[in-house]
Amino acid sequence: MIAYGENIKVFCGNSNPEFARTVCKELGIPLGDSEVKAFADGEASVSLNETVRGADVFLIQSTCKPVNDRLMELLIMIDACRRASAGRITAVIPYFGYARQDRKAKSRDPISAKLVANMLTASGADRILTMDLHAPQIQGFFDIPLDHLLGNPTFVSYFLKKFPEEAYNHENFVVVSPDVGSVSRARAFAAKLHMGLAIVDKRRPKANSCEVMNIIGDVKGKTCILYDDLVDTAGSLCNAAKALTEVGGAGEIYACATHPVLSEDAFSRIEDSPIQQLVVLDTIPLAGNTTSEKIVQLDVAPVFAHAIYHIHSGTSIADLF
């Protein structure tokens, strides 16, 4: 339990209430009394059943599937707090949806991540707390303070415990980026584990031809840890794992990703892949009707609780990195 100051309130939407309850348990405070529901036509409705006047309010809501519903719930919760004279409003967004739309990939594309940032600011948020943005430069889309937590310390602790003896024989392990775009985050993860780095490079020799997987780095006979910020359909992750075994001759393959979006046939793809274990965080709740023995979900509610405590008390969050 974390010692906290007075006049702090924590509320949540419908995206991950269990996560919010765990955060409040770590903080040693009750979850705020609120109700977030929908009218018959689908409109979101928010009721705050306790005063927030002058309070330091934290609203916990991942903008995960259904993304638009969760986003609207958060925006309306922020507006409700602002109109109820909250002292400060921090939007705690463990998973920031629309983060993959961070640039114009072709003509006439929107930059939806910037639009969402503008909407959050306009609704009345004073601060944002999130984890592992798909593109770190999204921090610059906000004109309000943003605290960007990292998931890799949690993964580092997990794998050092999983391989307590072997972890010191770094020659037998390698961290792998599943594509060129994830190299920087994989490199930072590998540095913390003191392991080598490899990259799976996907290329098309010509239009309408099959992708060719090239492995940059030595993975032959080694235990590989694929590292990415999120896993959606799991296509890229599973194809990378297949390439590591078939092209690179890798040994055991593990994977970790902060945000388990897991859309469409992701679960079956993971089950059929060479990946022995996929480790994810609970920034998004796993679908209750679909499970996989290969998937392990780690709890990062204590990390968010410590960040909330530091924000509330006005102290540095540097120790969380």
In angstroms and rounded to an integer, the radius of gyration of the C-alpha atoms of the chain is: 21
Give the SS3 label for residue 279: strand
Structure tokens at 2: 């974390």
Q: Half-sphere exposure of 216 toward its Cβ, with a 13 Å CA cutoff?
A: 11
Residues 110-127 as b or e (16 or more Cβ within 10 Å = b) = eeebbebbeebbebbbbb
Q: Which helix (H) or strand (E) holds 312?
A: helix 301-313
Instruction: Compute the Cα dihedral for 242, 243, 245, 247 and give only its sign.
Output: positive
| Integer Cα distance of 76 and 189 in angstroms | 37
What would the 3-class secondary structure string for 52-71 be?
CECCEEEEECCCCCCHHHHH
Strands of 223-231's sheet in order across = 212-216, 196-203, 173-177, 223-231, 253-260, 277-281, 295-298
- Pairing of the two strands 295-298 and 223-231: unpaired
Give the SS3 label for residue 257: strand
Q: Give me the active site residues, please.
A: 202
